[in-house]
Amino acid sequence: MTPEEIISQHARTQDNLLNILHDLQNNHPEQHITREAMDLVARYLNMTKSSVYGVVDYYSMLSLKPRGKFIIRVCISPVCHIKKAGTILVYLEKELGIKSGETTPDKLFTLEVAECLGQCQEAPSMMINEKVFNNLTEERIKEIIAQYK
Ligand code: FES
């Protein structure tokens, strides 16, 4: 589907801005929002380009940079932090050979940090694309990553 087709599936109201941006990102093979797509959205919703850009820049779930097929988001909010999310992040960086914010050379994984995923009772937690994983340990992460390779 082209960006124009994705955008036109939504009613022309600024309330739909985030939904449109999410759809554009999810439909891009490199899971990000291009400048051209933002310009189309701005025109469609009668907004300035800078206000659309500002929204994309503000929300951590939206990205201006090309990313991997699987986006790993490690929660670093307080409850997960207490339950050693920092160790989980370091382990993932070592396992994938990249730092937070980077994408593996084969473009399979992008590693990011996230605010609370709403899974505090089963912390530490992470997401891979839309799927949530809780009660993480190094052994469990190794198994999960192997499933995605
Ligand atoms: S603090 Fe990590 S899921 Fe809530």
Ligand 1 centroid–CA 47 distance in Å is 34
d(CA 84, CA 76): 9
Domain positions in the chain are 3-58, 70-148
- As a whole number of Å, the end-to-end CA separation of the chain is 27
* Residue-level pLDDT at 47: 98
Nearest atom, ligand 1, residue 77 CA: 1
Ligand 1 centroid–CA 17 distance in Å is 27
Ligand 1 centroid–CA 91 distance in Å is 18
Which option is the CATH number for 70-148: 3.40.50.800, 3.30.70.1520, 3.40.30.10, 3.40.190.10?
3.40.30.10
* Residue-level pLDDT at 44: 98
- The H-assigned helical ranges of 10-66 are 17-27, 35-45, 49-58
Contact 108, 69 (CB under 8 A): yes
Q: Single out the residue of 40, 42, 34 nearest to residue 64, CA to CA.
A: 34
Nearest atom, ligand 1, residue 85 CA: 2
Most informative mutation of 74, 75, 112 for ligand 1 (most atoms within 8 A of CB): 75
* Residue-level pLDDT at 149: 87
Ligand 1 centroid–CA 3 distance in Å is 33
* Residue-level pLDDT at 60: 82
Q: What is the mean pLDDT of each run of 10 residues along the chain (149 residues)?
A: 96 97 94 96 98 94 93 94 88 96 96 94 94 95 94
Q: Which residue has the tokens 């599936």?
A: 9
